[in-house]
Amino acid sequence: MYDLIVIGWGKAGKTLAAKLAAKGKKIAVVEENPKMYGGTCINVGCLPTKSLVHSAKLISQVKNYGIDGDYEFKNNFFKEAMKKKDEMTTKLRNKNFSILDTNENVDIYNEKGSFISNNEVKVTTKDGEVVLKADKIVINTGSVSRNLDIEGANNKNVLTSEGILELKELPKKLLIIGAGYIGLEFASYFRNFGSEVSVFQFDDSFLAREDEDEAKIIKEILENKGVKFYFNTSVKKFEDLGDSVKATYVKDNEELVEEFDKVLVAVGRKANTENLGLENTSVELGKFGEVVVDDYLKTNAPNIWAAGDVKGGAQFTYVSLDDFRIIFPQILEGTKGRKLSDRVLIPTSTFIDPPYSRVGINEKEAQRLGIAYTKKFALTNTIPKAHVINETDGFTKILINENNEIIGASICHYESHEMINLLSLAINQKIKANVLKDFIYTHPIFTESLNDILG
């Protein structure tokens, strides 16, 4: 009998296991895939992709000094980048495994787990089936990529975001299906590596949730780098050509055919709840297959919680860590503290080149809510540091309400992913805009641009 069973080795689950085991609780961790110790972020998500973002940026910066090469040069660089990425993920995966494996209060089951009741999870080991029992259970199985339901979609050259991270050669010609945030990140850094990149979007939308002026600038930045966008374009089928794939697609009602080395399907992710045996519990699923939870991440079952991507909503590692903060006191002491409704601000960064970061509300949302605001806007080429490092693309937009409080910020420049956290703190703590405007910053840095932008 365990105090807690954690199904899935994501950020929230592994942290709960480590912290509760340190408090003397007996924990079982069930993870069927040994390549997923540590969760999506470490293995197939934010860290390996950002490693490639960094490597791709290096080769793009070298071009600014007139150093370029043929495909063989770029492919060799890509292979080294993939090697560095693999070394990093292996190191972090092993570290995550070791933290729990060396704890005497944690038992690890490298098998598929499925519920047989609200308190029981079945795992199949080499010695047969084992039924684990616990007073409390946390579902932390993450999310998986969505696939296309069309002819030839199972072709070996048609990949999801997980598969494309295992490439051995740089694709000369890459098709990305989906102009969402994930698709744009891959488009940006594969273009920096030197691939010819085409992006198909089924309708005419581009970053539809963002303000139109921001989306327009971001699209122009990517197009100037050589990314080609095709709107109102849908693939009908794929045909295997051995080392490449032929895509038959329809654009503006015209059927066309084109050959690509690889295809990335980036049409979103879904909660990983299939084959968990949830039909044997009182856990309820939402319309997209996500686990339904209350404000404290508890499911319909009184002893089962869900954390991370599997519960739907924002799919970020730092959100999963915050899920840990919500669940931890409930399991340890039976007390309730932090809750989902306390999570009013979630800053985001999309790691295109340059990164695009957001927090708070944008103009669309302010207008919909009837909130009066003043807009402060500046192009990145007005920032001295941008010229120092030859990173002048992008913009900064900050919205200020009638009380002189910042209510939203959008930044697209080289340091946006760092700078957005300062503005998130300002919104959260209701720091007046003039405080940031008159603050003394070091020089030359991107953050000092607040002196001028807020002026």
Give 170-185 pLDDT, tens digit per residue: 999 999 999 999 999 9
Integer angstrom CA distances of residue 368 from 78, 285, 363, 365: 45, 30, 8, 5
Parallel/antiparallel/unpaired status of strands 120-125 and 128-139: antiparallel
Question: What residues form the annotated binding site for NAD(+)?
Answer: 178-185, 268
Annotated binding site for FAD: 50, 113, 141-143, 309
151 phi and psi angles, rounded to 5 deg: -60, 130
Taking the C-alpha atoms of residue 260 and residue 66, their distance in angstroms, rounded to an integer, is 28
Q: What's the pLDDT at 357?
A: 98
What's the average model confidence in pLDDT over 336-344? Answer: 94
Residues 6+ apart with CB under 8 A from 269: 143, 144, 145, 146, 182, 309, 315
pLDDT digits (tens, 9 = 90+) for 240-255: 999 999 999 999 999 9
Q: What is the pLDDT of residues 70-124, one digit of tens each?
A: 999 999 999 999 999 999 999 999 999 999 999 999 999 999 999 999 999 999 8
Averaged confidence pLDDT in the chain: 96
pLDDT value for 38:
85
**pTM (2 d.p.):** 0.94
Give the separation between CA 345 and CA 425, rounded to whole angstroms: 9
413, pLDDT greater than 90: yes
Asked if pLDDT for residue 191 goes beyond 90, the answer is: yes
Question: Residue 220 is encoded by which pair of tokens?
Answer: 């122009």
d(CA 271, CA 143): 4
Q: Which residues line the annotated binding site?
A: 50, 113, 141-143, 178-185, 268, 309
* Residue carrying the six token digits 């990517």: 222
The pLDDT confidence band at residue 164, using thresholds 50, 70 and 90, is very high
In this predicted structure, the answer to whether residue 64 has a pLDDT above a threshold of 90 is no
* The predicted structure's pLDDT at residue 374: 98
pLDDT category of residue 125 using cuts at 50, 70 and 90: confident
Catalytic residue among 54, 387, 413, 443: 443
CB–CB of 452/385 below 8 Å? Answer: no
Asked if residue 109 lies in contact with residue 125, where contact means CB atoms within 8 angstroms, the answer is yes
* Catalytic status, residue 443: yes
Question: Is 226 in contact with 56 (CB distance < 8 Å)?
Answer: no
CA atoms of 214 and 157, how far apart (whole Å): 33
Q: What percent of the chain has pLDDT over 90?
A: 93
Q: How does pLDDT run across 204-222, given as a tens digit for each residue? A: 999 999 999 999 999 999 9
Name the band, by pLDDT with cuts 50, 70 and 90, for residue 126.
confident
Nearest-CA neighbor of 264 among 405, 163, 398, 151? 163
Tokens (6 digits) for 5: 């069973």
Three-class HEC string of the chain: CEEEEEECCCHHHHHHHHHHHHCCCCEEEECCCHHHCCCHHHHHCHHHHHHHHHHHHHHHHHHCCCCCCCHHHHHHHHHHHHHHHHHHHHHHHHHHHHHHHCCCCEEEECCCEEEEECCEEEEEECCEEEEEEEEEEEECCCEEECCCCCECCCCCCEECHHHHCCCCCCCCEEEEECCCHHHHHHHHHHHHHCCEEEEECCCCCCCCCCCHHHHHHHHHHHHHCCCEEECCEEEEEEEECCCCEEEEEEECCEEEEEEECEEEECCCEEECCCCCCHHHCCCCECCCCCECCCCCCECCCCCEEECHHHHCCCCCHHHHHHHHHHHHHHHHCCCCCCCHHHCCCCCEEECCCCCEEEEECCHHHHHHHCCCCEEEEEEHHHCHHHHHCCCCCCEEEEEECCCCEEEEEEEECCCHHHHHHHHHHHHHCCCEHHHHHHCCCCCCCCHHHHHHHCC
Q: What is the pLDDT of residue 3?
A: 97
Sort strands 356-360 and 406-412 into parallel, antiparallel or unpaired. antiparallel
